[in-house]
Amino acid sequence: MDDREAYDRLDSTASSPSELFEHFERWSADGRTYRLLTDARHGVERGTVVVERTGAIVRGYPSVSRILTLETGVHAVFDVDETIVVEEKLDGFNVRIADVGADGPLAFTRSGYVCPYTTDRVRTLLDLPEYFTAHPETMLCVELIGPETPYTTHDYDGVDSNAVRVFGIRDRVSGVPLPVTERRTRCEAYGFPQPRLFGRGPPDVAAEVVRDAVGALDAAGREGVVLKAANGAPRAKYTTESQHHAELAYALSLPFEYGRDFLFSRIVRDAFQAAECDDDAALEERAQDLGESILLPMVETIRRVENGETVGERHTVRGDADSVDALLAHLRDQSLTVEVVDDGCEDGERVVEFVKVAESTTDQIRHYLDGGTRDE
């Protein structure tokens, strides 16, 4: 397919194919070449993919704005007579599953790469052939969750290894979502697990639903909620204190990889939530917990580097031997240094524990421990 046809189908605000496609990068795997959009441009979402030979399009998943003040935010984002659907937001790995004419459906990461491991997982965990035979023009928007994924490690009750939740179904080319009710019905029909639905209603009701949901999710150490229009479009997200602190703890355990980027935004979220929700005692407790989330993981990492340990993100993955190998190759293709810590077999599956080595954190901590100075 030529650029003109892909350009027409993407319905962008760019005035010519070249104006749009100059922002795409080429990427190859398994004998296929993809073009992917590394940043949102001309009304087209980041992570949008055009398969080179066939011209198949997999539209990126839109970024969702965040409200910081719950009471006013719900009313500012939605009209007074709109119905809002409140669903759980999960802390996992967001992929789009699409059948683009390869040997089976593929899992595309948020930025538009095919992840071989997630592809293997979703093929195992969902009955995809039956689904895509009936709905080839759609993509499933899925969160891969659980302790055994190569990207996230958030624990969820009842998920020992990994699992998926289908939180959206969209037209693969236009990105138009299925209304929430239809999506939930269709997923139930195919036996696809979904995120928890907390309730639906106009803004007044929804704000109350969110408040209760976030309280319960916070107590359970879960991430938060997404507020969707009835037509399926996610319009806002709102997260828990425990999630803010967990993300800070994670980022500060690898301070020179993630610290600077994570810090301010999580503190902003936490402060607005505290200003809206906390009495003096709750505020004091939140502040102390915030400080522990920031300082303790960083001090632990400094001491581990001092002891000569490898620091980085530790993950465990499980699957058939080939998909695990493909994953490790895929990660190394992305310029990550991957150290395999353990490589074994359990119940006929290969189980590999590995560390994505945090080079910048290791090098900089070593520098300062050796007496190196810092210029600011």
Q: Which stretch binds a second copy (CB under 8 A): 62-70, 129-137, 153-161, 191-199?
A: 62-70
The DSSP result for 286-317, as a single string, is: HHHHHHHHHHHHHHHHHHHHHTT---EEEEEE
| Residue spans of beta strands (DSSP E) within 90-129 | 93-98, 106-109
Number of residues that bind a second copy (CB under 8 A): 56
User: Residue 65 CB, nearest distance to a second copy (Å)?
Assistant: 4
Among the listed ranges 64-72, 99-107, 167-175, 327-335, the one in contact with a second copy (CB under 8 A) is: 64-72
Of the candidate spans 95-103, 106-114, 153-161, 292-300, the one that interacts with a second copy by CB under 8 A turns out to be 292-300
Is residue 54 close enough to count as binding a second copy by CB under 8 A? no
Provide the CA 20 distance to its chain's centre, in angstroms. Answer: 25
Q: Residue 290 interacts with a second copy (CB under 8 A)? A: yes
Site for a second copy in 77-106 (CB under 8 A): 77
Among residues 245, 188, 203, 222, the alpha carbon closest in space to that of 89 is found at 222
Choosing from 6, 210, 226, 298, the residue that interacts with a second copy (CB under 8 A) is 298
Q: What is the CA radius of gyration of the chain?
A: 22
Q: Are 98 and 32 in contact (CB under 8 A)?
A: no
Q: Which helix (H) or strand (E) holds 227?
A: strand 224-229
Q: To the nearest whole angstrom, how small is the minimum distance from the Cβ of residue 171 to a second copy?
A: 24
As beta bridge partners, residue 108 has 96, 114
Nearer to a second copy, 216 or 271 (CB): 271
Q: Applying CB under 8 A, which part among 29-37, 112-120, 335-343, 368-376 lies near a second copy? A: 368-376
Six token digits for residue 109: 């990461």
Report if residue 291 touches a second copy, rule: CB under 8 A.
yes
Which of 103, 5, 98 minimizes the C-alpha distance to 55? 5
Stretch that binds a second copy, among 46-54, 132-140, 272-280, 330-338 (CB under 8 A): 272-280
**Binder among 1, 159, 197, 274 for a second copy (CB under 8 A):** 274
Any contact of residue 278 with a second copy (CB under 8 A)? Answer: yes
* Site for a second copy contains 233 (CB under 8 A): no
**Nearest in space to 146 (alpha carbons), one of 138, 155, 137:** 155
Q: Does 303 bind a second copy (CB under 8 A)?
A: yes
294 touches a second copy by CB under 8 A? yes
Could you tell me whether strands 93-98 and 138-145 are parallel, antiparallel, or unpaired per DSSP bridges? antiparallel
255 contacts a second copy (rule: CB under 8 A): yes
Compute the least distance from the CB of residue 300 to a second copy, in Å.
9
Q: Which of 1, 271, 351, 357 binds a second copy (CB under 8 A)?
A: 271
* Single-letter code of the amino acid located at 338: V
Q: Maximum CA pair distance of the chain?
A: 64
In Å, how far are 13, 41, 59, 169 from 50, measured between CA atoms? 17, 15, 8, 19
> Does residue 114 contact residue 257 with C-beta atoms inside 8 Å?
no
Q: Report if residue 76 touches a second copy, rule: CB under 8 A.
A: yes
* Contact positions vs a second copy (CB under 8 A): 63, 65-69, 71-77, 236, 252, 255, 259-260, 263-265, 267-268, 270-272, 274-275, 278, 283-284, 286-296, 298-299, 302-303, 306, 368-376
